[in-house]
Amino acid sequence: MTVAAPNYELVQQDGLETSLLEVSMGPHHPSTHGVFRMDVKLDGETVVDLKPVFGYLHRNHEKLAENMSYLASMPFTDRLDYFNSMTNNWAYALAAEQLVEIEIPERAEYLRVIMSELTRLVNHVSLVGFFVNDLGALGTPLLYAFREREKILDLFEQASGARMMCNYFRFGGLRCDVPDGWLDRTREVVDRFPKFLDEYEKLLCENEIILSRTQGVGNLSKELAISAGITGPMLRASGVNYDIRKVDNYGIYERFKFRVPYSEGDVGDCYDRFMVRMLEMRESIGILRQALDGIENGPIMGNAGKVFKPQKSEAYGRVEAPKGELGFYLVADGTTQPYRYRVRPPSFINLTVLQDMCIGQQVADAVIILGSIDIVLGEVDR
Amino acid sequence: MSVLGSGIFKGMAVTLKNFVGSYFDKERLTTNEYAWQANDKLPERAGDYPKEEAEQLSDTTTVTQYSRNFPMLLHDAGEPMDTVRCVACQICERECPPQCIYIEKSTEKKERSGNKAQFYPATFDIDVSVCMSCQICVEVCPFDAIVMNSQFELSTPSRFGELLLRRDDLLKSNDYYYKIHPEEASARDKRIADEKAAKEAKKKAAEAAKKKAAEAKSKSEAEAKAKEEAEAASKPTEPSDTPPAESTATPSTEPPATPTTEPEKEGSAE
Amino acid sequence: MTLDLIKDILLATVPLLIIFPTMFALTTWVERKALARIQNRIGPNKVGVPLTPYGGKLSLFGLGQPAADGIKMLFKENIVPTGADRLFHFLAPILSLIPSMLVLCFLPLDFPWLNGEQNSVKAFMLDGAVIFFFAITGLNTLAVFMAGWASRNKYSLLGGMRAIAQMVSYEIPLVLSAVVVVMIVGSLNADNIAKAQEGWNWFVFQPWGLAAFVIFFIGALAETNRSPFDLPEAESEIIAGYFTEYSGFKFALFFLGEYIAMFAISGLAVTLFLGAGAGPGVESLSWLKIFWFLTKVCILIGVMIWLRGTLPRLRVDQLMGFAWKFLLPLSILNIFVAGFAWHIKDANKETATSVVVWIASIIILYAAAKGLDRVNRAKVKPRTYQYGE
Amino acid sequence: MNEVTAFWMLAAISVLGALIAVRKRNLVHGVFALLVFFVGLAGLFLLLLAEFIAVVQILVYAGAVGILILFAIMLTDRVTGRDAFRVTSRGSFWGALISLAVFLVILLPTIQDIPTIENPTPKETIVETSTVKQLGIHLIKPYIITIEILALLLTAALVGAVTAAQGGRASENEENNK
Amino acid sequence: MSEPVSHEPVLQHFPDVEWDDAFGTLIVPVAKATEVATWLRDDEAFRLDYCSNVTGIDYLDREFKEKVKNEEGKTETVIHTDPARMEVVYHLYSMENRTGPLVMRQRTNREKPEAQSLTAVWRSCELQEREIFDLYGIHFIGHPDQRRILMWDEFEGHPMRKDYVEPFDYEWEPTPHDEILEKHQKGTVIF
């Protein structure tokens, strides 16, 4: 079942010897989305071999968390995937809440869904911008995306006091309630978003250059995607209907009516990954509208107790983060610190197939394939 | 069958719309200029000024009332060290994830205005080069003594000393807190007052229960009195002696009555 | 005699050396402003003229920005990588500027007020001006290669190779689309071409002229490495291509050379298709010619900026395919269309023939373009997306 | 400042370029020196008011041939050699002498026929009819057959080149299919 | 939550496999790991085609004091010993049946830790096993490309091990934070 990495054989023509050009793309290459390196071997402009090199941002997050109380590593989870701190918080809270039985109040559950779907909008909209930036678009779509993203970040700031490093979720609820009028402002942003998406789609989805650059580039088959543990929009672009919001129904997702877009064919190229994200944003808006309609006043914190000290047990909590399945695996030994704290980072595992997708493509394609995987190095290197 | 190049022309129409729109539509040009850039005044570090001036200056360094950057120590009206709320219990120091707080307890207790004698922090340092504004210290503080500031322009030419905020840099009055986070401050004070009132009511009730055997009928009066007191206590502290010159609507005289629900203190405070 | 010669040389070259670098400075500012507005930003708006040493300044929407940039570039450190070919690393930016400056002389720009009413001044009066233009523009390629090779950087080398392949390929549709005009006018002389379009007889108003203009403009974008053909300096793929290792004033020279080349090639487009200096009022005021000429150049530059703000870039193979498989056949076909139009031109039935020519040319050219597009477009399955519950 | 000065300057540049091109062991330097020679030659043509030839000189030699050589060099492994290590063949003196003799025998009569620069042809006669036009007329009228045959030959060569390139790719595809 | 997978058939099919009820996990002997994994992936009932998470855990010799109520109702301190070992934990899900998770462990000693690489079964193990090799030093038999991944190649030691001692930090430079850390070390605050 496992598909091995394809081997590219250098074609020797009539005794003419050609040698490979070895280029080290990164760690300060402008389009590696951080400090990431790809050791690329090129035959002309064709990628013959590609080895990803990680670890430039490694800070041993897991070890740090094992030497801290459970609560104290919550702000550090923000720094994993610094675009989506809310979903990171949720995944950690979900794992910790499995260790001890905590009832989460209704309002907190609703706010969690609202925050995580807003995060999804933030991530997808700016990812599409970065992706088109990698295609060479001088940042215009990216800045349109950031214009809208700012509005959502303002909402995050109003709720939690910080724009990106929100640190908003707690075991059993949320840190604090949202201020007055926040829900109305959110509704305004959510109502305006489809209008922006229309414009965005008009700008990008029919552009002949984007079509010809992305279609048929970086194909990922369904079998390889499943075997390699690819999750999130990338998996759905390869034609697998698997969304943890639907499968696990964590939080209160079973109350909302939403659909999971996935590609029908089994091409799974950059265009599919781009389109699945565009379609997912529309669904997120649907969830947000339902959540904003359904939310009621109430407490936002369950009875977690003063000290978080779970019994000897283990738990694995996973959520559908915008980049894929984000899981936290906690092993508790009965103290206030986790004995083992493991992050299952989606973008790290999605990078498994980078080599498979890039070999035989052009250098320019390698860059956009990396862009379409959607990595954040804070999470990859941890 | 589409017209050749129609996708490109559509895209160009969108960019043209944005180009023109940025001159007329506020939605399309959301950029704001820095407040200090508008009047060509360079920002200074608030710590370089006398306290009152610094508090005025922070008008220009505050973005919105919701932004929260770096902790500060609250004191009530009056001389800072006489009214500081912190009792040097060191919970925040223990809970701080990046370990950027250092506290030394005073050796002797000191009388605070209106309260009984307590310890006070002899040293209270926060290394803002390490602090990540995670607000866990605010969350765990049982005395509402540490809250978030909103100054973000803290860059200094030197790496040592100036990024290590000392106790006197961190001490800020409650008025200042009202100025930068009006909603949060009033909600917090309301909660403190409520708690205090509830406590006193409880105490009164307990006393009343004791006296109940002797004077059963005075109970209702006592409760009414407790309620009155609660109302009196819900008023925030008096303004400082030298109010900021440009503080037009000093919130201390008339607190904004916005009943925001403030979170219960959670987290471990062992 | 010598004095006269020097005076002539100065009169012929100094206006060009003043006008175009000034326009370059302004264009960098306009480009930054326009791109910023396209992206919903404000753009440079702070740098201005200081009024007193103690403060106060005239901002003028950040018009001081080009000067500030220039000063910054001048004072930046000149870094030459170890192992680089120092001589070529030094020569490349100069060599890239010289051809672009040189070709400005072939534009039909004369300055009537400089040397009396009758003697207008012109740098070169050559019969083969158009072909000279292409020959000298081609030399730019060498500078690019020099820069890429001398930097001893793999990205630079890749950028240089891309640049050469691109420039060589796009020169062909560029020349072939210009051939149409040369054919109709019967002269390679830029002034003759300008003369042929006086009044409103601009060649862009002919069907073959319009097609040739579009092809020429696309080719010009590729020749000057502008978006969407800015592959040699694709920052998301190969850092900055051939000038990755350049800093300070050498980089500024490259930058200058590139923009001057933009002006030059836009100037040629204006000469060939947009009636050169023709415009309202040129009969009475001869210097309006220059005004109209520069205005048209600026409009073309504006379109280039607009395109840059909108489009992502192509891939190398697509770029080459576009030149060889799309533009080249189309421009050859266009030559035949122009010949056909010229052949059936009839002074007696002008309206009827022009209508016939318009309709026939448009149908032929559009059908050809569509067909070529269909042939060249990569075969991909249509995409469908499902919604799962 | 007249044509003579210009001539000597251009001649010096050309000869210098040619010499450097021969002497340099660094191939890329050599090619660029060769290009200097080509451009100098173009300048000389321009001086003779043969502007079309000058253009073609730049277009074909400096532009096309130069880039062709550069591409060829890029395919080689070692671009630079050291100028110090040079094998000078024996009898170079005789070689130089013979080449000079051949040069004189062949070219001297031609050189003598050219009107000297001090006494140039009057300008008016040249400006009257442009060289481009004259050249075109000559090419179309007396030499039309030659031109057509040349064109055919070049087309054949082009087709042959394309076929050769395609053949290479076809075999590559076959290998991939295996 | 998605439907959990019953572990009973595994135990029936492979007698060597143990079931740890406290943690809810299969404990697979290292020698049999590939076989069990392949069976779990291909068996029609399981179809655990998706290996979500691979974790390494390091257990030192530890004593746990636990207060247990004995029959007489008195609390009594019982001392458990947890033997030193290393574990590799696999969280398995099925994308086809939308079930999971089934937790599977390979247990190995601390002195010369070795485990079977399951990269051949689930490709997603490739980078995660490399990470475990890097941070824990567990050698994966049959891994196609076992190199360090997060730490640099010259790094010595395995930082996630519980007994790992930080080397002298040669990149140390003074910061204002040192003052605080020093005071922390001197004082009572222990993290």
Sheet containing strand A46-53, strands side by side: A21-25, A37-43, A46-53
Question: What is the distance of C-alpha D7 from the center of its chain?
Answer: 18
Least confident piece of the model among C193-202, C322-331, C378-387:
C378-387
The two beta strands, E25-28 and E99-108, are parallel
Give φ, ψ of B233 to 5 degrees: -75, -25
Least confident piece of the model among A22-31, A365-374, C115-124:
C115-124
> From the list A140, A174, A308, which residue is nearest B268 (CB)?
A308
| pLDDT reported for residue B240 | 40
Q: Using an 8 Å Cβ cutoff, are A297 and A177 in contact?
A: no
Residues of E in contact with A316 (CB under 8 A): 53, 91, 101, 103
The arithmetic mean of pLDDT across residues A59-71, rounded, is 87
Q: Using an 8 Å Cβ cutoff, are A76 and A346 in contact?
A: no
- Top-level class of domain B36-181: alpha beta
The arithmetic mean of pLDDT across residues E29-51, rounded, is 86
> From the list B102, B159, B163, which residue is nearest E184 (CB)?
B102
Alpha-carbon radius of gyration of chain B: 25
The arithmetic mean of pLDDT across residues A282-306, rounded, is 85
Q: What percent of chain D has pLDDT over 70?
A: 71
Q: Compute, in degrees rounded to 10, the torsion defined by CA atoms C238, C239, C241, C246.
A: -150
Q: Is C248 left (phi over 0), alpha (psi -120 to 50) or beta?
A: left
* C85 contacts D67? CB cut-off 8 A: no
Residues of D in contact with C126 (CB under 8 A): 51
Q: What percent of chain C has pLDDT over 70?
A: 94
* A213 contacts C314? CB cut-off 8 A: yes
Q: Which of C45-59, C146-160, D126-140 has the highest mean pLDDT?
A: C146-160
Instruction: Express each pLDDT in E107-119 by its tens digit.
Output: 888 888 888 888 8
- Split at pLDDT 50, 70, 90, the class of B248 is very low
3-class secondary-structure state, position A332: strand
Residue A103 has pLDDT above 80, yes or no: yes
Q: Is residue E136 part of a domain?
A: yes
Residues of C in contact with B28 (CB under 8 A): 40
Q: Using an 8 Å Cβ cutoff, are A41 and A50 in contact?
A: yes
| Tokens matching residue A378 | 């804070």
Q: Using an 8 Å Cβ cutoff, are A230 and A220 in contact?
A: yes
Residue E168 in contact with partner chain A when CB distance is under 8 A: no
Residue C151 in contact with partner chain D when CB distance is under 8 A: no
pLDDT top residue among A179 and B226: A179
Q: Look over chain B and give the mean of its residue pLDDT values, rounded to a whole number.
A: 70
Which residues of chain B are at the A interface, by a Cβ-Cβ cutoff of 8 Å? 2, 5-8, 10-11, 13-15, 17-18, 28, 30, 64, 66-68, 95-97, 132-136, 139, 148, 183, 258, 260-264, 266-270
CA distance A181 to chain E (A): 33
| pLDDT reported for residue D77 | 57
Least confident piece of the model among A265-274, A333-342, D123-132, E137-146:
D123-132
Give the span between the Cα atoms of A116 and A91, in whole angstroms.
10
> From the list B90, B99, B159, which residue is nearest E180 (CB)?
B99
| pLDDT reported for residue C216 | 92
> From the list A250, A334, A349, which residue is nearest E124 (CB)?
A349
CATH of the domain at E124: 3.30.460.80
* B31 contacts C41? CB cut-off 8 A: yes
Domains in chain A (CATH in brackets) are 61-356 (1.10.645.10)
pTM: predicted TM-score of the whole model, two decimal places: 0.82
| pLDDT reported for residue E78 | 76
Q: Using an 8 Å Cβ cutoff, are A330 and A137 in contact?
A: no
Q: Which of A344-348, C379-383, E43-47 has the highest mean pLDDT?
A: A344-348
| pLDDT reported for residue A122 | 92
Residue ranges of B 24-43 with Cβ closer than 8 A to chain E: none
Q: Is residue E49 part of a domain?
A: yes
- Residue A359: count of CB within 10 angstroms of its CB: 18
- The DSSP secondary-structure symbol of A238 reads T
* E180 contacts B163? CB cut-off 8 A: no
Give the span between the Cα atoms of A376 and C227, in whole angstroms.
28
CA distance C79 to chain D (A): 21
- Split at pLDDT 50, 70, 90, the class of C301 is very high
| pLDDT reported for residue E184 | 65
Listed residue (C256, C301, C255, C275) closest to C101, CA to CA = C256
Q: Is residue E109 part of a domain?
A: yes
Cis peptide before B157 (omega within 30 of 0): no
- Split at pLDDT 50, 70, 90, the class of E32 is confident
Residues of B in contact with A68 (CB under 8 A): 97
| pLDDT reported for residue C48 | 74
Q: What percent of chain B has pLDDT over 90?
A: 0
Residues of B in contact with C373 (CB under 8 A): 4
* A242 contacts E64? CB cut-off 8 A: no
- Split at pLDDT 50, 70, 90, the class of B64 is low
CA distance A42 to chain D (A): 15
Residue D3 has pLDDT above 70, yes or no: yes
pLDDT top residue among B256 and B62: B62
Instruction: Express each pLDDT in C270-282 by its tens digit.
Output: 988 888 878 787 7
pLDDT top residue among C389 and A333: A333
Residue C123 has pLDDT above 80, yes or no: no
Residues of A in contact with C237 (CB under 8 A): 31, 136, 363-364, 367
Please give the residue of chain C at the shortest CA–CA distance from D26. C85
Listed residue (E146, E60, E75) closest to E111, CA to CA = E60
> From the list C1, C87, C132, which residue is nearest D55 (CB)?
C132
**∠ CA(B204), CA(B210), CA(B213), 5° rounding?**
130
- Split at pLDDT 50, 70, 90, the class of C371 is confident
Residue A50 in contact with partner chain E when CB distance is under 8 A: no
| pLDDT reported for residue B250 | 36
Q: Do chains B and E touch (3 or more CB pairs under 8 A)?
A: yes
| pLDDT reported for residue A16 | 53
Q: What percent of chain D has pLDDT over 90?
A: 7
Give the span between the Cα atoms of E141 and E124, in whole angstroms.
16
Residue A183 has pLDDT above 60, yes or no: yes
Give which of B9, B17, B18 to mutate to test C binding, by max C Cβ within 10 Å. Answer: B18
Query: What is the extent of the structural domain holding E128?
Result: 8-58+85-164
Residue C35 in contact with partner chain A when CB distance is under 8 A: yes
Instruction: Express each pLDDT in D43-54 by its tens digit.
Output: 888 888 777 888
* E123 contacts A352? CB cut-off 8 A: yes
| pLDDT reported for residue A114 | 92
Least confident piece of the model among A64-73, A273-282, C339-348:
C339-348
Q: Which helix (H) or strand (E) holds B138?
A: helix B136-140
Q: Hey, which chains touch B, using 3+ CB pairs under 8 Å?
A: A, C, E
Residue B13 in contact with partner chain C when CB distance is under 8 A: no
* B102 contacts E177? CB cut-off 8 A: no
- Split at pLDDT 50, 70, 90, the class of A117 is very high
The arithmetic mean of pLDDT across residues A189-194, rounded, is 90
* B30 contacts C34? CB cut-off 8 A: no
pLDDT top residue among A271 and B233: A271
Residues of E in contact with B94 (CB under 8 A): 189
* B23 contacts C38? CB cut-off 8 A: no
Q: Using an 8 Å Cβ cutoff, are E64 and E79 in contact?
A: yes
| pLDDT reported for residue A123 | 92
Please give the residue of chain E at the shortest CA–CA distance from B158. E176
- Split at pLDDT 50, 70, 90, the class of B236 is very low
| pLDDT reported for residue C300 | 92
* AA identity, residue E178: D
The arithmetic mean of pLDDT across residues C142-148, rounded, is 85
Q: Which of B113-127, C183-197, C206-220, C284-298 has the highest mean pLDDT?
A: C206-220
Q: Is residue E137 part of a domain?
A: yes
Residue C56 has pLDDT above 70, yes or no: no
Instruction: Express each pLDDT in D121-177 by its tens digit.
Output: 544 444 445 667 777 787 888 888 888 899 999 999 989 888 877 665 545 545 454
Question: C248-273 and C86-103 are packed helices; what angle lies between their axes, rounded to 10 degrees?
Answer: 30
- Split at pLDDT 50, 70, 90, the class of A119 is very high
- Split at pLDDT 50, 70, 90, the class of E68 is confident
- ipTM given for this complex: 0.80
| pLDDT reported for residue E153 | 83
Residue A265 has pLDDT above 50, yes or no: yes
| Tokens matching residue C53 | 């040493």
* AA identity, residue C126: L
The gap between the terminal CA atoms of chain B, to the nearest Å, is 71
| Tokens matching residue D144 | 């039309």
> From the list A224, A229, A348, which residue is nearest E51 (CB)?
A229
> How many helices, marked H, and strands, marked E, lie in chain E?
4, 9
User: How many structural domains does chain E have?
Assistant: 1
Domains in chain D (CATH in brackets) are 1-81+110-121 (1.20.120.1200)
Listed residue (E56, A268, A215, D131) closest to C378, CA to CA = A215
The arithmetic mean of pLDDT across residues C167-181, rounded, is 88
Residues of D in contact with A19 (CB under 8 A): 77
Burial of A159 (0-12, 13-18, 19+ CB in 10 A): buried
Q: Is residue E64 part of a domain?
A: no
- Split at pLDDT 50, 70, 90, the class of B266 is very low
Give which of B19, B23, B31 to mutate to test C binding, by max C Cβ within 10 Å. Answer: B19
Instruction: Express each pLDDT in D47-80 by its tens digit.
Output: 887 778 888 888 888 888 888 888 777 766 565 5
Q: Look over chain C and give the mean of its residue pLDDT values, rounded to a whole number.
A: 83
* A11 contacts D175? CB cut-off 8 A: yes
The arithmetic mean of pLDDT across residues B189-201, rounded, is 85
Residues 6+ apart with CB under 8 A from A362: A45, A46, A47, C315, C316, C317
pLDDT top residue among A158 and D153: D153
Q: Hey, which chains touch E, using 3+ CB pairs under 8 Å?
A: A, B
Q: Do chains E and D touch (3 or more CB pairs under 8 A)?
A: no
Instruction: Express each pLDDT in C3-21 by its tens digit.
Output: 777 777 777 778 888 888 8
Please give the residue of chain E at the shortest CA–CA distance from B90. E189
Give which of C106, C132, C144, C324 to mutate to test D binding, by max D Cβ within 10 Å. Answer: C132
Residue B75 has pLDDT above 60, yes or no: yes
Please give the residue of chain A at the shortest CA–CA distance from C155. A23
Q: Hey, which chains touch A, using 3+ CB pairs under 8 Å?
A: B, C, D, E
Q: Is residue E69 part of a domain?
A: no
- Residue C303: count of CB within 10 angstroms of its CB: 14
